[in-house]
Amino acid sequence: MRIVLLGAPGSGKGTQGEKLVAHYKIPKISTGDALRGAVKAGTPMGVKAKAAMDAGQLVADEIVIGIVEERLQQPDTAHGFILDGFPRNVVQAKVLDGMLERLGQPPVSRSVHLAVADEEIVARLLDRAKKEGRADDKEDVIRHRIEVYNGETKPLLNFYAHQHKLVDVDGIGSLDEIFDRIIDAL
């Protein structure tokens, strides 16, 4: 099973991704975690990423793609994986398709979209910020993150729908209810 998790920030991708890891016994690959891991391991792409991060710059797409490719070559991904945070746009999705083919791996099996209304996302993230004391999650910042997601990442829904790989899952309810919906959809 090769799964791409899609959903706005706060839609529950991280939580549901961990539940899918336990269920399918395959690794979840978060681009943030993969970047930090590559930097810590000192891989060639990790060295490039560290230089960009130390300079206070965004890590370039080609470095992120390279780090994902390094990660997908590790033995634990041979039987599948769950991607969280990659691809972020249609260009990256096309690169991922080519990368998997080049690596001799099967293509993405499914893209799971956790559908949650924007106002529910704002409420969830404001609540999380309050509970966790996160001063960085202010409403204007949250709304901007949603705008970025809607502009850059939401077009992936059509990309995967055209490949007949998209499953829309209602992201409202208890964690177990949502998880059961995902498993039923897969």
**Residues annotated as part of the active site:** 13, 88, 128, 134, 145
Ligand-binding annotation for 11, yes or no, is: yes
Ligand-binding annotation for 30, yes or no, is: no
Residue 134: enclosing H or E segment and its boundaries? Answer: none
Residue 166: enclosing H or E segment and its boundaries? Answer: strand 166-170
* Cis peptide leading into residue 27 (ω within 30°): no
Ligand-binding annotation for 16, yes or no, is: no
Ligand-binding annotation for 71, yes or no, is: no
Ligand-binding annotation for 43, yes or no, is: no
Ligand-binding annotation for 155, yes or no, is: no
Strands of the 110-115 sheet, one edge to the other:
28-30, 81-84, 2-6, 110-115, 166-170
The length of the chain, given as a count of residues: 186
Residue the block writes with tokens 């999650």: 137
Ligand-binding annotation for 86, yes or no, is: yes
Cite the annotated binding site for ATP by residue number.
10-15, 128, 173
Cite the annotated binding site for AMP by residue number.
31, 36, 57-59, 85-88, 92, 134, 145
Cite the annotated binding site by residue number.
10-15, 31, 36, 57-59, 85-88, 92, 128, 134, 145, 173
